Amino acid sequence: METLTDCIFCQILAGKKPARMVYQDETVAALEDIRPQAPVHLLVIPRRHLNSLREVSEEDEAVLGHLLSVASQLARERKIEAQGYRVVINNGNWAGQTVDHLHLHVLGGRVFHWPPG
């Protein structure tokens, strides 16, 4: 499993940094965002380090699909499914990516606007 010692999410996955984990399986994990931007703000991350969507290849298709599936499952469990929720992946500087370990934001519990800022 590829891990980066200086990557905060890899450190969390290795149990070296604390986090409020809400879901874990063999390939992905989910945690509470430390600076929530909505009443529900979860991050769904692959265990294998990928910087962003810019680095994915065909071999990552299964885990990418699983990330979305887990996001959907967590949205149901958190009861944000009926009202609607947002799933966001920031990729690179202009999109505002601050942690270079691919992650899905799952946001819900309030109204979101479009286009995003």
Please give the C-alpha separations between residue 41 and each of 1, 33, 44, 104, 108, in angstroms, as whole numbers.
27, 6, 10, 10, 7
Q: Contact, 112 vs 86, CB < 8 A?
A: yes
The yes or no reply on residue 98 touching ligand AMP (CB under 6 A) is yes
Q: How many residues in the shown chain lie near ligand AMP by CB under 6 A?
A: 12
At closest approach, how far in Å is the CB of 114 from Zn ion? Answer: 30
Residue type, 10: C
Q: Name the catalytic one among 41, 49, 103, 105.
A: 103
66 catalytically annotated: no
List active site positions: 103
Which residues would be at the binding site for ligand AMP (CB under 6 A)?
8, 19, 31, 33-35, 43, 90, 96-99
